Chains A and B, each alone.
Chain A
């Protein structure tokens, strides 16, 4: 057992399937920063199942309390102002799940993730999915789907993008996309290679592993 595993006595907890997909990308015993970690579900899983040395950053104080009460190392803070404090290369992986689209400066956030972590795992809802496109085309209103469940005035999402937009940004930033896959509405994994050019149309969510070149 490593010095930092959270718990070994309990059965490995079951987690939401999209979190599971992200967790599967993380090798055992790595150092992980989960940015926007919520109540620490992913961190708790990584600690228990993979002996990961995990830390979390979360905006909501109530969620931070929930996470710390489980014995997780989580601090309250704003990812857009607080990531700068972390030293360069402090983590093997910096994870940002379903949060990039809610940040004010997604590009700056990506840069910070890749500075702090040797790799970044980023997932986001794909605004290029056919359901989104269809809703806007036929309804003429901002789409409300299972992945994007909030109305425009309630939504925390201020910088939605499509998979193609994201790939363009990575190219522009000189960031290497090491791997990536799509998730369908049920959180099941679909290979981009199998989807080919249709990936942007048929992926509800996307998960990418990024590195600095």
Chain B
């Protein structure tokens, strides 16, 4: 691999120049007591403010609601070539090209672009910063109109369904009645399943990747560790840190570090770092980052705090925890898809222990039970959950086959033929 991946997307570990160069200073950064305000002013290209309040799954009405989004490629005359890409927990709408904040390639730059698997020469690609996010969409760091101050913990708890509802309203605004395809990994896969279940008539093909129909008990507690780390940081100020010009950097960094472990695998960590020492030949008999793997993880934590809002992290992890498509359908997952016309392609990765293959298989079985059109593939990879963001040729090949097959059936141009 010739270049590093953006920090928020998960690195192909150990292959990141920035990480190598900065590793020595990371510990100091993390331990530094002084805090600074988040960079709240970033260049965000497209936004839509909804005209009516959004009625949330909790029953609360949220207003005003702004959705920040990015589009790539052009909508065709039939409005039939739209691909909605749903981002993961800490992803954002900058799918490909250069990210305006990090200056690095977008999180799915390998897959999305002209001539790529999700071909922007043929498809109109839309990605929306999720509700509750911190890249322009309404979330806890935006201003609460009732108080004129950031929402903080006054922000209502949102769900995956709420995120999808906001996306659906944006698509109405963009004139997209029916999606050719909706896809995404991890929390993105949850949104894909919600889309297919909630708006089956608006989806032609759905590709949930490395996902599940419900957040497992183990995943909930990993999130809880992260939330507790944030809330234990004195700078968090019960969620009101923005008003007090503080940032709970250490808590958020620890949350990221804990979560990041779950995105990897022992095999990948061992291959890239093993037990090698960081810039030294022997242990220092202290609590400095002696091991490369420690230094790497600290780096992941420290870079994350510069681009992510701690309260957003609380809200979005909560949304994932609440997701359970089976429970919402009388405990029977197949009820969520009864009579579905959607073509599904489920993709999992062999070393992913956060969203293991068994979860995708359960979805495949539920879809079989309603005679849905479904493909289900597990990709061999030792890169853990993060594999969905990385250069995995078998994954890309499978996804390309599915998308090209679906595009032909949907009457869209073949690969190499530009959208007229």
> Contact check: which of B374, B379, B380, B401 meets A75 at CB < 8 Å?
B374
Interface-central residue, A68, A70, A76, by most chain B CB under 10 Å: A68
> With A61-B380, A72-B375 in contact, do A6 and B409 touch (Cβ < 8 Å)?
yes
Instruction: From known contacts A4-B373, A5-B409, A61-B378, infer whether A75 and B368 are also in contact, taking CB-CB under 8 Å.
Output: yes
Most buried by A among B364, B375, B376: B375
Q: Tell me the residues in window 1-25 of chain A with beta carbons closer than 8 Å to chain B beta carbons.
A: 3-7, 9
Establish whether residues A74 and B409, one from each chain, have CB atoms under 8 Å apart when the complex forms.
no
Within 8 A of B (CB), among A58-100: 61, 64-65, 67-77, 82, 85-87, 90-91
Distance of A109 from chain B, by nearest CB (Å): 16
Main secondary structure of the interface of B (DSSP, over half): helix
B27 to chain A, nearest CB (A): 42
Is the Cβ of B397 less than 8 Å from the Cβ of A65? yes
Interface pair B345/A68, CB less than 8 Å apart: yes
Q: How far apart are the CA atoms of A53 and B343 in the complex, in Å?
A: 12
Whether the Cβ atoms of B404 and A87 lie closer than 8 Å is no
Interface residues as binary, A152-168 with B (CB distance below 8 Å gives 1, 0 otherwise):
00000000000000000
User: Nearest A residue to B348 by beta-carbon distance?
Assistant: A76
Question: Per-position contact with A for B366-405: 1 when CB-CB < 8 Å, else 0?
Answer: 1011110111111110000000000000100110111011
Known: A61-B378, A61-B380. A68 touches B401 (CB 8 A): yes
**Total interface residues on A, using CB and 8 Å?**
28
Q: Report Cα–Cα, A53/B90, bound state, in Å.
A: 39
Contact at B378–A76, with CB atoms within 8 Å? yes
Per the 8 Å Cβ criterion, residues 129-175 of A in contact with B are none
Q: Which residue of B lies closest to A116 (CB)?
A: B371
Q: Which residues of B contact A119 (CB under 8 A)?
A: none
In the A-B complex, the 4 residue pairs with the smallest Cβ-Cβ separation, listed nearest first, are A71-B405, A69-B401, A75-B376, A90-B371
Q: Shortest Cβ distance from B288 into chain A, in angstroms?
A: 44
Interface of chain B residues 331 through 349 with chain A (CB within 8 A): 343, 345-346
By the criterion CB–CB under 8 Å, are A85 and B377 in contact?
no
With A64-B376, A73-B373, A76-B376 as contacts: A6 and B408 at CB distance below 8 Å = yes
A115 within 8 A of B: no
Contacts of A50 in B (CB 8 A): none
Across-interface contacts of A77 in B (CB, < 8 A): 361, 364, 376
* CA–CA, A151 and B398, complex, Å: 34
Tell whether, in the assembled complex, residue B397 and residue A69 are in contact, meaning their CB atoms are under 8 Å apart: yes
In the complex, what distance in Å separates the CA atom of A94 from the CA atom of B402? 23
Q: Does B202 touch A at the CB level, under 8 Å?
A: no
- Give every chain B residue within 8 A of A68 (Cβ-Cβ): 345, 375, 377, 398, 401-402
A73 B409 Cβ-Cβ under 8 A: no
A residues less than 8 Å from B373 (CB atoms) = 4, 53, 55, 73
**Nearest-neighbor residue (CB-CB) of A76 within chain B:** B376
Q: Which residues from chain B contact A65 at a C-beta distance below 8 Å?
A: 377, 379, 394, 397-398
The yes or no answer to B365 lying at the interface (CB within 8 A) is: yes
For the complex, what is the distance from the CA of A69 to the CA of B394, rounded to whole Å?
9
Nearest Cβ in chain A — how far from B414, in angstroms? 8
In the complex, residue of chain A having the shortest beta-carbon distance to the beta carbon of B404: A71
| Max chain A Cβ within 10 angstroms of own Cβ: one of B343, B377, B379, B397 | B377
A residues in contact with B400, CB < 8 Å = 69
Partner of A86, one of B361, B368, B409: B368
Q: Does B232 contact A (CB under 8 A)?
A: no
Q: Which residues of B contact A86 (CB under 8 A)?
A: 368-369, 371
In the complex, whether B96 has a CB less than 8 A from a CB of chain A is: no
Q: B30: CB under 8 A from chain A?
A: no
Bound-state Cα–Cα, A82 to B374, Å: 14
In whole angstroms, how far apart are the Cα atoms of A69 and B361 in the complex?
Answer: 18
Contacts of B398 in A (CB 8 A): 65, 68-69
| Min distance, Cβ A32 to any Cβ of chain B, angstroms | 12
Question: Which B residues are CB-close (under 8 A) to A69?
Answer: 397-398, 400-402
Could you say which of B345, B365, B408 contacts A7, with CB atoms under 8 Å apart? B408
A residues less than 8 Å from B394 (CB atoms): 65
Which residue of B has the minimal Cβ distance to A70?
Answer: B401
A3 to B376, CA, bound (A): 20
**Residues in chain A near residue B168, CB distance under 8 A:** none
Known: A7-B408, A87-B371. A73 touches B343 (CB 8 A): yes
Q: Across the interface, which residues of B come within 8 angstroms of A53, CB to CB?
A: 373
- Most B CB atoms within 10 A — which of A4, A6, A76, A82? A76
| Residues of chain B with a CB closer than 8 A to A4's CB | 373, 409
Give 19 A-B pairs besides A68-B377, A71-B404, A82-B368 with Cβ atoms closer than 8 angstroms: A3-B409, A4-B373, A4-B409, A6-B405, A61-B377, A64-B375, A65-B394, A68-B398, A68-B401, A70-B401, A70-B405, A71-B401, A72-B375, A73-B343, A75-B346, A75-B364, A75-B374, A87-B369, A87-B371
Q: In the complex where A61-B380, A65-B397, A69-B397 touch, is A74 in contact with B369 (Cβ < 8 A)? A: no
Contact A71-B380, Cβ < 8 Å, known A82-B368, A85-B365 = no
